[in-house]
Structure 1
Amino acid sequence: MKHKLTLLFLLISIASIAQKSGYEEDAVSVESLTSAYYDCVSGPIGQTRDFDRLRNLFHSNAQLTYSYWSEEEQKNKLMHMDIEEYIEKLDYLDKKGFYEEELFSKVEMYGSIVQTISTYKFWMEDKSAEGRGFSSYNLFYDGNRYWILSMFWMMESKKYPIPDEFLD
């Protein structure tokens, strides 16, 4: 009887954890994962972003890396962060009204390994900024859901225009 109660408690706990997030559909496919990402960062002025939903997309050991061209140093630079550091940098989104929309994606898979390339456009609600960017996602499929293990991105620039093959 003790084992049955333990098993019952375990099953109830697992079901409770799964129901708490409410984000299970975000990770059922590569497309749902990237779509959820763009949805999490996009929205009008005054709309609080759902950073719990965003956290749910990323594996606990995920690494996020931004690459940019430094005119001053005349070289490419990197900025590394984890999901919490990234969220800190996104804190302004609800104050400015920011949107990202996917333009193109390419997915390659083998077993539990997924490589996704995604190009996007972004804009501010007040039209103070707009542009395009290129992201590379390394995903992991654990047999039940997809996780973002790394996100590596760069904004388009005069030095690095996005090739047409990534815009169709």
Structure 2
Amino acid sequence: MKQTLSSLFIMIAMSSVAQKKGYKEDVTSIESIGKAYYEIVSGPIGQKRDFDRLRNLFHPQANLVYSFWSEEEQKNKLMPMGIEGYIEKLDYLDKKGFFEEELYVSNESYGSITQSISTYKFWMEDKTAEGRGFTSYQYFYDGNRYWILSMLWMMESEKYPIPQALLGK
């Protein structure tokens, strides 16, 4: 009961922040959330990212998990985090200039749940890195807005190339 009340309070507070800062349009559809996400993480060197806007996209109890192949251990591993842990990892974006663009997306919905598969490309303004990745999103519609409930992603590698069918070609 205590956890439910805490979650409800957080959701109300986040909704209030969203309305005050003009983020309400970001959560009216799955497409608007995707557009907002790429706008938030992308930008040139020196451009601060709006992490309040990013927080607004994610449910307070969202799970964000990075999957990667560990050469050292010769197995796939997971790096789970919440939205604050994710934001800590994104703190470098304005220092190097980072851009991300969606290549392909496919959505399947039933009731209040949408599963989305998305591939993307990314690059650093300073040319230190570029690549592609794959993300699985789970969205929840509460009757008023959409939330990213979970995000699981991994970078493309020689071991795991992204299939052509998922590159929008």
State if a TM-score over 0.5 links the two structures: yes
Q: Secondary structure at the match of 2:103?
A: strand
Matched residue SS, 1:56: helix
Aligned length: 155
Q: Distance in 1 between matches of 2:21 and 2:69?
A: 38
2:97 matched residue in structure 1: 97
Q: What amino acid maps onto 1:159 in structure 2?
A: K
Are 1:69 and 2:69 an aligned pair? yes
SS where residue 104 of structure 2 aligns? strand
Partner residue in 1 for 2:38: 38
Distance 1:159 1:19 in 2: 44
* Equivalent residue number for residue 56 of structure 2: 56
Matches within 5 A, 1:1-168: 17=16, 19-168=19-168
Instruction: Tell me, in whole angstroms, the C-alpha distance in 2 between the residues paired with 1:68 and 1:94.
Output: 24
Paired position in structure 1 for 2:7: none
Identity of aligned residues (%): 75
Instruction: Quote the offset at 1:154 in angstroms.
Output: 0.3
CA deviation string 1:31-80 (max 9, x = no partner): 11011111111100000000000000000000000000111111101000
Counterpart CA distance in 2 for 1:104 and 1:86 is 23
Question: Per the alignment, in what secondary structure is the counterpart of residue 43 of structure 2?
Answer: coil
Query: TM-score by structure 2 length?
Result: 0.88
2:165 alignment partner, SS class: helix
TM-score by length of 1: 0.89
SS in 1 for 2:20: helix
**1:130 offset after TM fit, Å?**
0.2
- The letter of the residue matching 1:108 is E
* Structure 1: 5+ residue stretches without partners: 1-13
TM-superposed deviation, 1:21: 3.0
Q: Which has the larger Rg?
A: 1
- The Cα shift of 1:19 comes to 3.2
Instruction: Name the aligned partner's letter for residue 164 of structure 1.
Output: Q
Return the letter of the residue paired with 1:72.
E
Gaps of 5+ in 2: 1-12
Aligned-residue offset at 1:155? 0.2
